Amino acid sequence: MASVKDFCFDLAGKALRFAPGSRRFSDWSGPRKSQIVMYHRVLPQAEPFSIDPALSPDFRRHMRLLKRQFRVVPLAEMITAWEAGRDLPGAVAVTFDDGYRDNYLHAFPILKEEGVPATIFLATDFIGTGGMPWHDRVLAGFRDARAQNFAYPEAGIAEGPMGEAPHRRGLAFRILGWLKRFTPEDREKHIAAMLMQCNPENREREPLMLDWREVRAMLPHGITFGAHTLSHPILSRLTPQAIEAEVIGSKLAIEKETGVPVTLFAYPNGQPGDYNEDCKAILKKSGFSCAVSTSAGVNTPDTDRFALRRRHVWDATADGFYFRFLLERLRA
């Protein structure tokens, strides 16, 4: 049965067909506008204890829809064009944050087949070490919890049953939101106390994050790597010295392992309060050419290169994502 989403996509299709005298939607919707899309994970099936996964068939459809009406370019090429004073009509860049192993297993084959370049931002402490970002440690703790009850009054969670997976997932996401306000040290204390309560089952699992061999295997096939700090802290909560260590440490680790200079950066969490002028100054003096946020929107050559906007892909369907992507461009 046709749904609202089908209708919306049909509407977008009609808009494309009625584009007066031009082949591409991007040609008449603002040639100076460039968009960046942001993914975290790409998985063959739904995984409730994961942040915003795109399913493989949807991801392939996203790539095909983008290719149809836009010019998908490496993020670095967008920056180089702006620096040279050139417009890059209809430019779109595809990015991934954190460095999940599924980027190699499930996204990379599709990117290769579709001929789409992409940038992966690595939180380097977790690459090839068996570690994972703090948000994934919390999610895994609630996924594998053996405890029957959970209480964390400080986070506003009164004692109650752990319950089935959907309930445990709800608890975990509530806690993730709450934990973002802390310094890394305080956050770790809370995570340790919560995980102790969860008492997760200790099962052998496949590594969650990429290793350097996988990173290097993607390099010759249009995949660029950018820095995303060492340990994925929220930078505005750190001292300038600690910000510098996170930013430069991550850049040097990638350069050492790939032999390629790193000029692109993504702010962890990436909302306006998560980075500040100290961060921008440190990035500029450390040889970065841009930094991407997680604020939605369209970029032009005049946008602050150290606060570039990105569109997340949390829509229920591939067509829903695409429609919102087109609308964002028309409105900007």
Q: Which residues form the interface with Zn ion (CB under 5 A)?
A: 97-98, 268
Q: What separation in angstroms does the CA of 202 have from each of 168, 199, 216?
A: 17, 9, 31
Minimum distance of Zn ion from residue 66's CB (angstroms): 22
- Least distance to Zn ion from the beta carbon of 250, Å? 12
Q: Which of 323, 295, 322, 321 is nearest to 309 (CA)?
A: 295
Closest by CA to 268, choosing from 174, 94, 134, is 134
> For tokens 């090429």, what's the residue?
77
Q: How far is CA 71 from CA 22, 289, 302, in A?
A: 15, 21, 20
Q: Rounded to the nearest whole angstrom, what is the least distance from the CB of residue 232 to Zn ion in the complex?
A: 6
Whichever of 214 and 319 has its CB closer to Zn ion, that residue is: 214
Beta bridge partners of 209: 100
Kindly state the smallest distance separating residue 160's Cβ from Zn ion, in Å.
30
Q: Tell me whether residue 12 or residue 264 sits nearer to Zn ion (CB atom).
A: 264
How large is the angle between the packed helices 165-179 and 134-143, nearest 10 degrees? 160
Distance of alpha carbon 316 from alpha carbon 294, whole angstroms: 19
Q: Residue 98 or residue 102: which is nearer to Zn ion going by CB? A: 98
Cβ closer to Zn ion: 91 or 230? 230
By beta-carbon distance, which residue lies closest to Zn ion? 97
Least separation in angstroms between residue 268's CB and Zn ion is 5
Distance in angstroms (rounded) separating the CA atoms of residues 328 and 321: 11
Residue 139 C-beta: closest distance to Zn ion, Å: 13
Closest to Zn ion by CB, 53 vs 268, is 268
Strands (DSSP E) contained in 99-137 are 118-122
Measured from the CB atom, is 69 or 250 closer to Zn ion?
250
Neighbours of 287 (CB within 10 A): 12
